[in-house]
Structure 1
């Protein structure tokens, strides 16, 4: 017989408001997050024969913030077709899903549920005034309820890399 647990997870969301235009912020994020051919990379990773080879392939593919883009969702496409959201149409809203297989492995080695929070999500929104808002949920806050110091240390390092990049590209100090 199965069971169900419910955990309350308090998430620490970082929101950056920038006067910079959307495309400048998005381009800046991609300056730190690589955009490899993910299917090709994952085939190579799957064919790797050692952890050293696997982690070397990841290092070659990652951006300066230690991440690579896994997926990009252009959420504004749905808004443009929603008659109740016409006032939002024309503004960009992008969700980036980015990660690093080595970092994810380091976290899930300690807390398997960390796989629910890594890869990370970065939400980039074009604001009506021409500026940009970027939101990021801290992985360390998401895995805190599990109480594992080793996984938390990896998550804090990951958060530091992502937040450093987001502060830089939004002009936030």
Structure 2
């Protein structure tokens, strides 16, 4: 028989409205998080040593210290159902395993929320873009039982993401 435990806690969802076109916002984000090569990231091919893994990871990081793991373009299929008025909508999953491990060493369940994800949505009026994200520290260390070390590590990720979004909004 399985045991089920539920924990309820508050998570912060942030919507940043950037007064720039969707394509500009996506281009700025892509310029800062490295894209996977056509052969895939290949990071897991370098597990023979921590040093080899870190070297491969560092080579895959963009200027703000993140790499893209996946991108989903929701706009075209949503339009088939008459959802969202044909606006562009893209979900991107990105992160950095070396940042993730600073949290995972305190609570392996942080792996549920790293890498992070963002939803980029063309505004209905066409005059800007909404960037929607859940604040990582509220997901990873939002419970009362979270240690101070876990909270501190998760807040470092929050700060790095804030700097990334400042760059994207320029």
TM-score by structure 2 length? 0.89
Take 2:146 and 2:113, find their aligned partners in 1: how far apart are those partners?
A: 15
Question: What are the Cα deviations for residues 79-106 of structure 1, in whole angstroms up to 9, with x where unaligned?
Answer: 11114x2xx2321000101111222223
What SS does the corresponding residue of 1:155 show, helix, strand or coil? Answer: helix
Indicate the SS of the match to 1:160. helix
Partner of 1:163: 162
Aligned to 2:27: 27
SS of residue in 2 equivalent to 1:105? helix
Q: CA RMSD in A?
A: 1.8
> Separation in 1 of the partners of 2:162 and 2:155?
10
TM-score, length-scaled by structure 1: 0.88
Question: Residues of 1 paired with 2:90 and 2:165: CA distance?
Answer: 15
Quickly say closer, same or farther: Cα 1:40–1:59, change in 2 above 3 A: same
Contact 1:98/1:121 (<8 A) preserved: yes
Give 2:116's match in structure 1, choosing from 115, 120, 123: 120
Q: Which runs of 4+ in 1 moved over 6 A?
A: none
- Residue 136 (structure 1) aligned with residue 133 (structure 2): yes
The alignment covers a number of residue pairs equal to 167
Higher helix share: 1
Matched residue SS, 1:53: helix
Cα offset, 1:39, TM superposition: 5.3
Where 1:89 maps in the other structure, the secondary structure is helix
Q: How does 1:30-109 map onto structure 2 within 5 Å?
A: 30-37=30-37, 40-42=40-42, 44-83=43-82, 85=83, 88-109=84-105
Q: Which runs of 5+ in 2 are unaligned?
A: none
